[in-house]
A and B are shown apart, each in its own frame.
Chain A
Amino acid sequence: MAEPVLLLEGVFKSYGNGVVTEVLKGVDLRVERGEFAALIGPSGSGKSTLLNILGLLDRPTRGRLTIAGEDTAHLDDAGLTRLRGRTIGFVFQFHHLLPGLSAVENVMMPMIAATGRTSKEMVPRARRLLERVGLGEKAGARPNALSGGQQQRVAIARALALDPPLVLADEPTGNLDTKTADQIFEVMREFNRELGVAFLIVTHDPRLATRCDRTIDLVDGRIVSDRRRAGP
């Protein structure tokens, strides 16, 4: 079997040093390249915490995290930042676009971060991504001038800017109406099918969860069920 894009072994995470709250209580998880998985669970069960750890924004208290074959334990801050930029795209519940940048500049941001400077070649690639999410016309617009759904499309385009093997999405449709949520979901699905990008999507929407290839259920810091549906 090919190397998984994500491998989590016995991960614990607790917060606080006086009163310690253990949020993750031993999580093992393996995500293959090209998977399209939903992470569900009640509020407060630790989904966002888990996603932050997977996204290298936070470190586990205990346990091993391997991303694209690279063990993350020995990496320093700069190393984590580099690995994150190369391998992981983020989509958040709130689009989290930079208000001072145009749509196309927001999409360029991971490329700029990766090379440390802006360059002209980034623009056409960012524009192509925006076209793919159906926002070719809005390249120059500021996030504030876009609707919630459009903002989230820009955020998805941004997550894919560096062609990462994995995109982590934390309730990407949580703030959208059903119709828009479906559209956003479809955009992600397309990227998954056409480019083979793996997605791990946190969602509270059971309807969307059932449309994923895999459903991981996190309850009180433990994975209680992990079901794969038979291929399409």
Chain B
Amino acid sequence: MPISWFLALRFFREGRLQSVLIVVGVSVGVAVMVFLSALIDGLQTSLVAQTLGTQAHVVVRPPDEVARPMLASSEAVAIAARVERTAQRSRSIVGWQQVVEGLSAIPSVTAVSPTVTGPAVATRGNATRAVVLYGIDPERFAGIYPIRERMVAGRFEPTGTGCVIGRELALDLGVGEGDRLRLGSVEGASEVYTVAGVFDLGNREVNRRWVVISTRGAQTLLDLVGGVSSVDLRLRDIYSADEVAADITARTGLIADSWMKTNAQLLVALRSQSSSSQMIQFFVILAVAMGIASVLVVSVVQKGKEIGILRAMGVGRSSVLWVFLIQGAMVGLIGSVIGTALGTGLGVLFAGMVRNADGSPTFPVTVSLALVARSAAIAFFTGVFAAALPARSAARLDPAVAIRNG
């Protein structure tokens, strides 16, 4: 065993109480770091997942129709304030088949679902509800939304005159699987559909409003035969949505809305949450570093005489330096191992305690390998850095003085 390791281990064992205390301190620090990160990662992942459970990552739709006043431009400025946005009736994306093909070819896009969507009214007996029609291809639609896993009754088969509706709408209208309801559009068309299944996407508003039917059915009802009103996309990396959307707009002239734009506030909240957690972690690291440094500073002072003796025995300066660096690293490593275990345990415990009404965990506390590796690395380097100063002063001790003062 190299001399520095030998001495570091002996010193570490000798100052048992000090060693235990500082390891406990580092462990607690690392545990806080791991737990906090895991908690916030889990919370954010589940918040985003929840949000994206009912939203496509990017929605591509035709450009807005702009009302153009027939006036010279100078007058137009004066009158511009009065120009209103035209009421947007359902319009089709021109040449949508090619658009879908083009979008599918984008590498970061994992699923594409052309959608015929528009407002409608659902009627059952004398109960009437305003709804939003989604005319889709079931296979493609299921690639965007986790609807197959979220069926609470019947099946996800929006084909022919079968429709799939949300739980709240089913309750409101008093219908269940196999019941009939009438769907009517503002265009005046109407058709009787049979409820093929009921879903619960975890969002009350969606459950109350969405009526999913076949593409052809929606095209007929919304007077959009042969067309689609929007194309939903799913991306490999959800945080690339803004770029992908901008890219699509630039290339096609269509409007592309990313979920990030639609949920800007959520993202701001998440970001500030992350930065406050990072700040807490920074101060935890600082406190841990101070703890390690102060213990080692005291230890160098206490061991001044012993260091002098070691030097008199022929132990070199660099070996003395390493003895203390190794101790710092050891404290950091042991602390990070215990700390990650503790933090993970705490996270699992916490996830087990905080549960939804149905007993499922509110959010997963995700302790990733990367998080563990990062915490361990931070603790390790913190240990080494914290030890650097005391180690240097130990290496610089004058053996003659150290022995005389013994």
Binding site for B on A (CB under 8 A): 48, 52, 55, 57-58, 77-78, 81-82, 84-86, 90, 92, 94, 96, 98-101, 105, 109-110, 112-114, 116-118, 158, 162
CB-CB under 8 A from A162, the residues of chain B are 314
Contacts A84-B314, A109-B310, A117-B2; is A99 near B406 (CB within 8 Å)? Answer: no
CB-CB under 8 A from B309, the residues of chain A are 92, 96, 98
Interface residue? B313 (CB, 8 A):
yes
**In the complex the two chains form, is A52's CB within 8 Å of B305's CB?**
no
CB-CB under 8 A from A118, the residues of chain B are 1-3, 6
* Min distance, Cβ A224 to any Cβ of chain B, angstroms: 24
* Min distance, Cβ A171 to any Cβ of chain B, angstroms: 12
* Min distance, Cβ A87 to any Cβ of chain B, angstroms: 10
Q: When the two chains form the complex, which single residue of B305, B313, B399, B406 contacts A109, counting CB atoms closer than 8 Å?
A: B313
Interface size range of chain B in the complex: 20 to 34
Closest to A100 in B: B14
Q: When the two chains form the complex, which single residue of B314, B400, B403 contacts A113, counting CB atoms closer than 8 Å?
A: B314
Binding site for A on B (CB under 8 A): 1-3, 6, 10-11, 13-14, 305-306, 309-317, 319, 398-400, 403-404, 406
Q: When the two chains form the complex, which single residue of A86, A99, A112 contacts B3, counting CB atoms closer than 8 Å?
A: A112
**In the complex the two chains form, is B13's CB within 8 Å of A100's CB?**
yes
CB-CB under 8 A from B398, the residues of chain A are 58
**In the complex the two chains form, is A100's CB within 8 Å of B403's CB?**
no
* Min distance, Cβ A53 to any Cβ of chain B, angstroms: 9
CB-CB under 8 A from A85, the residues of chain B are 313-314
CB-CB under 8 A from A96, the residues of chain B are 305-306, 309, 403, 406
**In the complex the two chains form, is A98's CB within 8 Å of B310's CB?**
yes
CB-CB under 8 A from B316, the residues of chain A are 77-78, 81, 113
Complex CA–CA separation, A94 to B15 (angstroms) = 21
Complex CA–CA separation, A162 to B313 (angstroms) = 10
Closest to A48 in B: B404
Beyond A48-B404, A57-B400, 7 additional contacts (C-beta under 8 Å) are A57-B311, A57-B403, A77-B316, A78-B316, A78-B317, A82-B314, A118-B3
* Min distance, Cβ B66 to any Cβ of chain A, angstroms: 81
CB-CB under 8 A from B317, the residues of chain A are 77-78, 81
Q: Which of A98, A101, A114 has the most CB of B within 10 A?
A: A98
**In the complex the two chains form, is B310's CB within 8 Å of A113's CB?**
yes
**In the complex the two chains form, is B399's CB within 8 Å of A112's CB?**
no
Q: When the two chains form the complex, which single residue of A52, A82, A110 contacts B313, counting CB atoms closer than 8 Å?
A: A110
**In the complex the two chains form, is B3's CB within 8 Å of A81's CB?**
no
Closest to A84 in B: B314
* Min distance, Cβ A184 to any Cβ of chain B, angstroms: 18
CB-CB under 8 A from B2, the residues of chain A are 116-118
* Min distance, Cβ A123 to any Cβ of chain B, angstroms: 13
CB-CB under 8 A from A86, the residues of chain B are 314
Contacts A113-B3, A116-B2; is A101 near B313 (CB within 8 Å)? Answer: no
Complex CA–CA separation, A118 to B13 (angstroms) = 17
- 18 cross-chain CB contacts under 8 A: A52-B404, A57-B400, A58-B400, A77-B317, A82-B314, A86-B314, A90-B312, A94-B406, A96-B403, A98-B306, A100-B14, A109-B315, A113-B3, A113-B314, A113-B316, A117-B3, A118-B1, A118-B6
Q: When the two chains form the complex, which single residue of B13, B305, B314, B399 contacts A114, counting CB atoms closer than 8 Å?
A: B314
CB-CB under 8 A from B313, the residues of chain A are 85, 90, 109-110, 113, 158
Contacts A96-B403, A100-B11, A101-B10; is A116 near B3 (CB within 8 Å)? Answer: yes
Closest to A78 in B: B316
Complex CA–CA separation, A58 to B404 (angstroms) = 12
Closest to A55 in B: B312
Complex CA–CA separation, A105 to B306 (angstroms) = 14
**In the complex the two chains form, is B14's CB within 8 Å of A52's CB?**
no
